[in-house]
Chain A
Amino acid sequence: MKILIADDNNVERLILAKVLEQSGHEVIQAATGNQAVDFYFQHEPALVFLDVLMPDLDGYDVAYAIKKKQDIRWVPIIFLTSLTDAYDLAKCIDCGGDDFVSKPIDQIIIKAKVNAFARISHLYETIDNQKKEIQFHNDHLIQEQEAAKKIFNNIAHRGCLDAENINYHLSPMSIFNGDLMLAAETPMGGMRLMLADFTGHGLPAAIGAMPTSEIFYGMSKKGFSIPDMMVEMNTRLYSVLPRGIFCCVVIADIDALDKRITIWNAGAPQAYLINQDSGEIALIHSTHLPLGVQSPQKFKVEPVVYPFSESDRLLAITDGIIESVNHNSEMFGEERMLDYIKSNLKNANLCDSLIDESIKFTGDAEQGDDLSLLEVGFPHHHLEQAYASDSQVKELTGTLDSKLGLCLRKISLRKFDPIPLLLQTLLECKELTPHRSRIFTILSELFNNALEHGVLGLDSATKNGSEGFATYYQQRIDGLANLKEGFVQIEIDHKPVGDGGEIIFDFIDSGEGFDFQKALAAGSKHYSGRGLPLLKDLCQSIEFFDDGRHVRVVYQWQANSE
């Protein structure tokens, strides 16, 4: 050990130096106080002996100068003193000294003290090294998280979350809190939104987000329904997540044409459907186990449908805000949440003001980092924009010259949504990519008409008002479950015409037909009902045969000239 001795008495200093050198220590000697301070910083000793009384700078001042500038290194200071007054001895410790020994020195005591301080120094050094190591690992972890965050942000990107009908709050590091928010425009011209909360924190929570968002964006683009997509997500998460990690989710589809919202809550806190005009608030409760818990065989998705228009908005939250706690250990709670919404119905940005409200409640701005809120209003219908995007393909390809036939009977009608399949097959003709939205809309309008009004004989007039909406969709579920017989036959004939092509859609159903002349004559502003005005708008022609059981529409398209 390197030891500094400061003493103006040469004899005493030499004796002490000898004793310490005999024990194998390296000794530096200073004859004055100022020299002691200089040597201390020059030689960086591990232990200092200081005489209290020195002519220039006394021991107290030397100790003070050393301790004042001391870095993270801990260097014990032991005073050498012939003083015996308790006050003087206490002052040695007060000014930064760690111990004192009386002069004349006793060899045995000196050696024992040096050993004791060597032990303490060693302990300090160990702690210091550990601290450095922890700091290193922490820096490393933060660096890794930053890199991981960039990767996650590319995969679990935010889609169309920045659309003007959406307000949201999500901390930048939310992925490591397990919170995930996704939004996509659907081919039908509406919007699909998802707020997901994985249990746990850190990397395990973040990893589950990757397949989830891949499935979300992949399947939404292809026009898969919420149930089909959630089955896929649950199956994947069930197989990849360890037991004990799962995903609570609220998912919603907004249909901008039919002005309705289809919504499902699995394990998340209740979501709010707020009508700003009437003040009605519908609570969307969790009706299922979270994703990744139930085996695929038992997994069942039954979303609910509500009307949704310009005066409606959806508010979905994770448990962060409900469970935020104030100084009296009270939780924010659902009651406070609902009261706040009720008294701020017309607030243009409920999301931000709820965050402010919760920060006011907890008195702690940092808690805000754990909160995720999603507020969605009515989206602008965007079919036209989708149509305008251009295709890069020059050569006519794929299913341009083909005929496709599919007949769905009782059991398939119950369980199978043919639209993604038909859409994907048609889109094998790459020039059709910019027409995706329109073709999806045509397919789904035709199929839903054939199924709901044809096979099931439902009356769209039932859909008036929110009660009616629920009734209508319940009738649809019951009708399918009790279906004795029935079919929908689909034929799609695609031929090249000029620079583009012509698609003839034939949909034939087993229903009782309808008065198509009257329906065609009805006002074009009504998008509900059979969506005939919309079809008329999108297609070159629309014809009915067999008392309305058979509909034929023709869609013509031009390849993009650019």
Chain B
Amino acid sequence: MSVGSNLSADGKVLTISINGRFDFSAHQAFRDSYEKLTPTPGSIVIDMVETTYLDSSALGMLLLLRDHAGGDSSSISLMNCNEDIRKILTISNFEQLFTI
């Protein structure tokens, strides 16, 4: 598991990519990828092209990120989710909170 992050040149879009299983072991790295940025970028993209699996603690981490980015006014999209991940997101109805 590894977490990479990349801020666009204008500082407006933060892309976080997660490699491997997205679970509690990614906790610190995931937080570090966005917490230290001020101001918080207006738009955040989570790239899951390399993500194999996601568990409920990962859902919790996504909620923490959403809260950090302004809750209901945040703009977070989850990209390139595989079928398993999509299913987990659907069960939890996370499409109501994130753009998938």
Enumerate chain A interface residues (CB-CB to B < 8 A).
Answer: 197, 199-200, 243-246, 248, 266-270, 285-290, 293-295, 319, 323
- Of all chain A residues, the one with the shortest Cβ separation from B64 is A244
Nearest-Cβ distance from residue A119 to partner chain B, whole angstroms: 34
B93 and A243 within 8 A (CB): no
* Chain B residue contacts of A248, Cβ below 8 A: 56, 92
* Chain B residue contacts of A294, Cβ below 8 A: 96
Nearest-Cβ distance from residue B68 to partner chain A, whole angstroms: 9
A199, A269, A286: the one contacting B59 at CB < 8 Å is A199
A197, A200, A267, A270: the one contacting B93 at CB < 8 Å is A267
B92 and A267 within 8 A (CB): yes
Query: With contacts A199-B56, A248-B56, A267-B92 known, what are 4 further pairs, Cβ within 8 A?
Result: A244-B60, A266-B93, A269-B91, A288-B93
- Give Cα A200 to B60, complex, Å: 9
- Give Cα A244 to B63, complex, Å: 5
A243 and B64 within 8 A (CB): yes
- Give Cα A285 to B67, complex, Å: 27
B61 and A244 within 8 A (CB): yes
* Chain B residue contacts of A289, Cβ below 8 A: 92-94, 96-97
Which of B56, B59, B61: most chain A Cβ within 10 A? B56
B55, B60, B90, B96: the one contacting A246 at CB < 8 Å is B60
Which of A270, A289, A323: most chain B Cβ within 10 A? A289
- Of all chain B residues, the one with the shortest Cβ separation from A334 is B87
- Of all chain A residues, the one with the shortest Cβ separation from B87 is A334
Could you show 14 A-B contacts with beta carbons less than 8 Å apart? A197-B56, A199-B57, A199-B59, A199-B60, A243-B64, A244-B63, A245-B60, A246-B63, A266-B93, A286-B91, A286-B93, A288-B93, A289-B93, A323-B55
- Of all chain A residues, the one with the shortest Cβ separation from B61 is A244
Enumerate chain B interface residues (CB-CB to A < 8 A).
Answer: 55-57, 59-61, 63-64, 66-67, 72, 90-94, 96-97
A290 and B92 within 8 A (CB): yes
Which 7 interchain pairs have the tightest Cβ spacing? A244-B60, A244-B64, A199-B56, A243-B67, A267-B92, A289-B93, A286-B91
- Give Cα A293 to B91, complex, Å: 14
Nearest-Cβ distance from residue A453 to partner chain B, whole angstroms: 34
- Give Cα A293 to B66, complex, Å: 11
- Of all chain A residues, the one with the shortest Cβ separation from B96 is A289
* Chain B residue contacts of A286, Cβ below 8 A: 90-93
A319 and B67 within 8 A (CB): no
- Of all chain B residues, the one with the shortest Cβ separation from A268 is B91
- Of all chain A residues, the one with the shortest Cβ separation from B62 is A244
- Give Cα A116 to B66, complex, Å: 55
Nearest-Cβ distance from residue B15 to partner chain A, whole angstroms: 21
Nearest-Cβ distance from residue A293 to partner chain B, whole angstroms: 6
- Give Cα A197 to B97, complex, Å: 20
B63 and A243 within 8 A (CB): yes
* Chain A residue contacts of B94, Cβ below 8 A: 289
Which of B59, B64, B90, B94: most chain A Cβ within 10 A? B59
Nearest-Cβ distance from residue B93 to partner chain A, whole angstroms: 5
- Give Cα A9 to B94, complex, Å: 82
- Of all chain A residues, the one with the shortest Cβ separation from B88 is A319
- Give Cα A323 to B91, complex, Å: 14
* Chain B residue contacts of A268, Cβ below 8 A: 91
- Give Cα A266 to B92, complex, Å: 7
Nearest-Cβ distance from residue A209 to partner chain B, whole angstroms: 16
B61, B66, B72: the one contacting A295 at CB < 8 Å is B72
B63 and A293 within 8 A (CB): yes
- Of all chain B residues, the one with the shortest Cβ separation from A178 is B56
- Of all chain B residues, the one with the shortest Cβ separation from A270 is B91
- Give Cα A245 to B57, complex, Å: 8
- Give Cα A171 to B54, complex, Å: 24
Which of A199, A244, A288, A294: most chain B Cβ within 10 A? A244
- Of all chain B residues, the one with the shortest Cβ separation from A318 is B56
- Give Cα A199 to B57, complex, Å: 6
* Chain A residue contacts of B64, Cβ below 8 A: 243-244
- Give Cα A290 to B93, complex, Å: 8
- Of all chain A residues, the one with the shortest Cβ separation from B94 is A289
* Chain A residue contacts of B57, Cβ below 8 A: 199-200
* Chain B residue contacts of A267, Cβ below 8 A: 91-93
* Chain A residue contacts of B93, Cβ below 8 A: 266-267, 286-290
A293 and B97 within 8 A (CB): yes
* Chain B residue contacts of A319, Cβ below 8 A: 56
* Chain A residue contacts of B60, Cβ below 8 A: 199-200, 243-246
- Give Cα A125 to B93, complex, Å: 53
* Chain A residue contacts of B90, Cβ below 8 A: 286
Nearest-Cβ distance from residue B18 to partner chain A, whole angstroms: 16
Nearest-Cβ distance from residue B95 to partner chain A, whole angstroms: 10
* Chain A residue contacts of B59, Cβ below 8 A: 199, 246
* Chain B residue contacts of A243, Cβ below 8 A: 60, 63-64, 66-67
* Chain B residue contacts of A269, Cβ below 8 A: 91
- Give Cα A268 to B61, complex, Å: 18
Which of A243, A287, A295, A319: most chain B Cβ within 10 A? A243
- Give Cα A294 to B92, complex, Å: 12
* Chain B residue contacts of A200, Cβ below 8 A: 56-57, 60
- Of all chain B residues, the one with the shortest Cβ separation from A269 is B91
* Chain A residue contacts of B56, Cβ below 8 A: 197, 199-200, 248, 319
- Give Cα A244 to B56, complex, Å: 9
* Chain A residue contacts of B91, Cβ below 8 A: 267-270, 285-286
- Of all chain B residues, the one with the shortest Cβ separation from A266 is B93
Nearest-Cβ distance from residue A372 to partner chain B, whole angstroms: 14
- Give Cα A294 to B67, complex, Å: 12
- Give Cα A285 to B90, complex, Å: 10
